[in-house]
Amino acid sequence: MYRWDTLVLLQHYLDSGLTKTAIAEQLGISRGWLSHLLRTGQLDRDLSEAAPARRRRLAGETKVAAVTPLITERLATYPLRSAARLFTECRAAAYTGGYSS
């Protein structure tokens, strides 16, 4: 979501007759994002009201939570165990997540 002053400036550029390409270059955004702002009516909304609250993902069970006890136990027993080896052991224990998690 853009700040209100950016949207006001965008509206000013549109009113002055600049092309979408020129406006996008001035604001440092892509023409696609500019088109999205226009298409979704972002410029038509009342800028004096507060911005809508951001949607947040509900906290839930993560994939790594299922293997956390295994990881804790392995690191307690073998403190120098590599992450790659831990990942292999977690995969063997039916972990379906990725390495970076």
> Is 0.95 topped by the overall pTM?
no
Check residues 5 and 70 and name the one with the higher pLDDT: 70
pLDDT tens digits for range 48-94: 566 666 777 777 788 888 899 999 999 999 999 999 999 999 999 98
Residues 45 and 7 grouped into a single domain: yes
CB-based contact 78:45 (threshold 8 Å): no
pLDDT tens digits for range 9-38: 888 888 898 898 998 888 888 899 888 888
Range of the domain at 85: 61-101
CB-based contact 1:51 (threshold 8 Å): yes
Which pLDDT belongs to residue 55?
Answer: 76
Q: Domain total for the chain?
A: 2
Distance CA 72, CA 38 (A): 51
Q: Which of 36, 53, 70 is the last residue of a domain?
A: 53
Residues 49 and 78 grouped into a single domain: no
Residues 47 and 67 grouped into a single domain: no
